[in-house]
Copies of this chain bind each other. A is one copy, B any other.
Amino acid sequence: MDLVVLSLLRAACGIFLVAAIGVLYPAPVKAQDDPLTGLDAMLDEAAPEEPLRVGVGVKITQITGVDQRAENYGVVARVRMKWKDEALAFDAEEVGRSIKTLSAKNFAEKARELGVNIPAATIENQQSRSFVKSATVSWFPDGTALYNVEVILTLQAPDFDFRRFPFDHQNFYFRIIGNAPTDFIQFEPLAEASGLGDTLGEEEWVITNYWTEVDEAEGISGFTSSRFSLGFSAHRHLFYYWARIFVPVILIIIIGWANLFLEEYRRRIDIASGNLLAFIAYNFTISGELPRLGYVTFIDSLMMAVFVISVASVVYNVALRRLSMAGMEERARAIDWHTTHWGYPVLFIGTILVLRQIFFVESTLIAVL
């Protein structure tokens, strides 16, 4: 085991899990099709008989924020990696103790000197500079090694689907991918070391469940690497949206309806125009909540419907007024009776029911709405 070359767990200045792989578990690169030279044959020779099996666990202890416009979220997480390497074994009696511990940085240096391998990995969906609160490696007489790191970072959450916003359910992931291909390193979930803490400090979201996955994805080498994911599912507390958006909009609509009973067409036009401006303001408020999507959401449809009803309302009242100015006052009154007494509220309720059918059908959220 001489001349083994290792990359280090580069902890300096927040770099995370970059360990180099030596003899058995290198980080070869898929390069056969590029113009210079093919490397496939070389890589086939380099692969070990069996991949190193590395247990991975991720426990999220804090959620520092969810930025749904930028589609990312911040966490403080404890990552554990566990593997067994004969080269790390030692005689407990001779050494006088049955456990050895080093900071990750010092372990990497020591491993390099001794020619021991470290399974290298990267947090796949990391989106910002990270900060390592603590990073240590402990190992035992039988060669079992445990890498424990606590890290603060921001993770990409590209899977947001806002179609049912704010009644949406979203999945979040913390993904760790091996630097070396699947032939070299194979992840296995450490169920016990995975999960979410008790005091996440997240008020807006209700986390319903979490799970671990191991699959494969293209790694930094260009080849398929093993990938561990901690996923969790969450929906929103809805009180905010009822108190700040839905209730005020309903109140404005009720005021509009109440004014219909005053039977002055000019006044109604003013009210409907005013409502339209208020709804435009709400439209902007809502648009600030979400990224600039390429698809229509429930709440967009709702606001659009309210817009159209407000404009139709103006046109309707102008028409009534012209009718009554043209001497058909009686006729106008008759039409208006129906609008006032059931047309206006039925139109709004019908619109909401149609949108519910479109966006939430076969959904468990129908009850909530």
Q: Taking the complex as formed, is A345 at the interface, i.e. its CB lies under 8 A from any CB of chain B? A: no
- Chain B: minimal CB distance from A187 (Å): 12
> Once the chains bind, are A280 and B148 in contact (CB under 8 Å)?
no
Within the complex, the shortest CB–CB distance from A9 to chain B, in Å, comes to 9
Report how far A5 CA is from B145 CA in the complex, Å. Answer: 15
User: Which one, A18-26, A328-336, A360-368, is touching chain B?
Assistant: A18-26
Within the complex, what minimum Cβ distance (angstroms) separates A128 from chain B? 7
Q: Once the chains bind, are A138 and B287 in contact (CB under 8 Å)?
A: no
**CA gap between A129 and B201 in the complex, in Å:** 18
Question: Top 4 A-B pairs ranked by shortest CB distance?
Answer: A237-B294, A158-B201, A7-B103, A240-B292
For A318, what are the chain B residues with a Cβ–Cβ distance below 8 Å?
258-259, 261-262
Please report whether the interface of chain A is mostly helix, strand, loop or mixed according to DSSP: mixed
Docked Cα-Cα span, A350 to B201, in Å, equals 36
Q: Which of A221-265 contact B (CB under 8 A)?
A: 221-222, 236-237, 239-240, 243-244, 247-248, 251-252, 254-255, 258-259, 261-262
With a CB–CB cut-off of 8 A, which chain B residues contact A243?
Answer: 283, 287, 300, 303-304
Once the chains bind, are A199 and B159 in contact (CB under 8 Å)? yes
CB within 8 Å for A46 and B131 given contacts A136-B120, A311-B251 = no
Chain A, interface size category, equals 35 or more
A57 within 8 A of B: yes
Are B220 and A78 in touch, CB under 8 angstroms? yes
Q: Within the complex, which residue of B37, B140, B255 is in contact with A42, where a contact is CB–CB below 8 Å? A: B140
- Are B42 and A98 in touch, CB under 8 angstroms? yes
Measured between beta carbons, the chain B residues less than 8 angstroms from A5 are 100-102, 110
Contacts of A103 in B (CB 8 A): 7-8, 10, 18-20
- For residue A127, give the distance in angstroms from its CB to the closest CB of chain B: 5
A131 — which chain B residues lie within 8 A by C-beta? 14-15, 128-130
- B20, A148: Cβ atoms closer than 8 Å: no
Q: Name A25-56 residues within 8 Å CB distance of B.
A: 26-31, 33-37, 39, 42-43, 45-46, 53, 55
**A144 to B46, alpha carbons, bound, how many Å?**
15
Interface residues of A in 89-128 (CB under 8 A from B): 92, 95-103, 105-106, 110, 112, 120, 122-123, 125-128
Contact of A97 among B8, B46, B71, B132 (CB under 8 A): B46
Q: Are B315 and A258 in contact (CB under 8 A)?
A: yes
**Chain B positions within 8 Å of A87 at CB level:** none
